[in-house]
Structure 1
Amino acid sequence: MQGRKNYSEKLFISFQLSDRVPKENFYRRLSETLDLQFLYRDTRELYGKTGNPSIDPVVFFKLMLTGYLENITSDRRLLEHCSMRMDILYFIGYDIDEPLPWHSTVSRTRQLYPALLFESLFDKVFAMCVEKGMVSGHTHAVDSAPVKANASIENLELRVPAQSIKAHLTAVDSDNRGEKEGDQGNKTAMTANPNQLKRLAKHQDNLKATKSNRLGANNEKRSY
């Protein structure tokens, strides 16, 4: 079932997230600029009608966009990074006391999306950022000598991703596959202690040496 995150900002006794994020902050302006409601329509067919609600598609793609802009390819590190940034929490629609989705949920959601659909939707989201003048394309040329103005860098400079979208998504798949394999490798192996193994071996020897009237006991191919 397609999940939809309903965000209603909470007013604490003396704290409100919107008051702590400057109006010129990049992620605040990005939140006020982007309209990602089309994602509900374009992903509706991927979800069933019953079951537990999924992660909100808008939240999911905002997380993916944040990872790209911050050059973070690990879902685990991405969620840790977001949890410590008030501006990013404001961008994805979470209050400071709300737990973010598990990193494994984010990884699983990305894996369940058809690859071509995921890339096309991500490209569309990123293209909207470029069209709104919030970020720069990865490859661009300037036919003049650029000079930085003596003004607010936050207001004037475009956010420039460290690598292309394709290279970033490839790194995301690689890093999170490695983390998953690492988690599985860290599981504790369970085994009997030496005394238990000795008692078991003695019991098996007794079974082999003792004739039994039970069905199948005299079968040479029986296993102990």
Structure 2
Amino acid sequence: MKTPSNAQQRGQARTNRPERTQVEMQFFSLDQLVASDHRIRLVWQYCESLDLSPLYTRIQSRQGKAGRNSIDPRILFALWFYATLEGISSARRVAELTTRDFHYMWICGKVSVNYHTLSDFRSENSELLEKLLADSIAALLNQKLITLETIGQDGMRVRASSGSGSFRSAPTLQRLQAAAEDYLNELSERTEEEAAKISKAKQAAQQRAAKERIERIKAAQENLEELERRRKEKRSRKSKSTPRASMTDPEAVRMKMADGGFRPAYNVQFASDGETRIVVGVSVDNQGSDQGQMLPMYQSVCSTFGVMPGKYLVDGGFTKATDIDSMDASGTAVYGVLKGVQKQIEEGKDPHLPKPGDSAAMKRFRERMGTAGAQKIYKQRPSVAEFPNAECRNRGLHQYRVRGSKKALSQTLWHVLVNNYNRFKCLGFLPNLIGDPCVVAAKS
């Protein structure tokens, strides 16, 4: 059956049809295209209030000297901040939005950016992002808006950028290294006739790729040695599987994920304030478990902010005896789950009674967790410690787009800063941080 034409379909109906050939002159600014109460304006105000001085000191274009102007780092910062807020993690996607989305165009203000610049900016500023996180918490502490009396810690595993098929055993890595070195020697020993057939740019690209491959193989071999060292420290039963390391992301380790499967991942740790759910500490490593992660995070929070938490909430995976001893000596009470509680209850034993070999701190920990008051305090843990995990997941932190633990930390810190920004806004802290009492009127 033949489909009737558009004119036949309209019949006698009168409609307003699109007119795309009419020439007309329109006058408007980017500022007029963004609503006065849109959240991008509040985001920009917040980004303007941050100290980004280290980014400006790197710029080589200076007043009175020749050269092209650099992109203002605050533009790049605001682009990634707003993109993370919207759950966008692709540099190509952000670069595309700066050409057709009014809100991203408003941030740029006619300054063009490309995805290479955006990608480098996201992953090369972990130190600055950590400083911004610490400065915002310190400002709230000075204004007595938070106390850090109670801290909750939890971890989550985020899929690495590398694939499962990129893992190789030690003998395979040795063969690949030898082959890569031979290939690099061949490139260096080309005759003049062979080199004349290939452009200098392509020759440089081939040599650079070969060197980078050798570096990744060596890093993978070093990671294998680290994995073997960890196995010896644990004194666990030797695994039948051969240890392997990734060729594309040497620091990534296969970990057991929430669905029970094993995939290349990193272990992300968050420490959150008990009253406000603001993240005060973050770390990224390739440890396959949470065991031993509590004390380093605790020490980091104490040294950074000069505050000793009174209560520290963790789940059963963190309760390492030596960590509990150290924190108890500092005056911090740990609230967590005792190992093997259910099994001991089924056997008719009281898990809260002291055991032979327990230290004084461990005895106090067992007795404390047997009281109703401690159980009531511990019930706060999910809402405190797991809150940032869910917020980061909801904004797309399921798999890293970068490789290496340092770059993974940078991507995580963007999510942490956005999480804290939302908490500042909900709690009414933004005016104190921005310094403009009228900012509370802005909607987002």
User: Quick check: which one's strand share is greater?
Assistant: 2
Same fold (TM over 0.5): no
TM-score, reference length from structure 2: 0.24
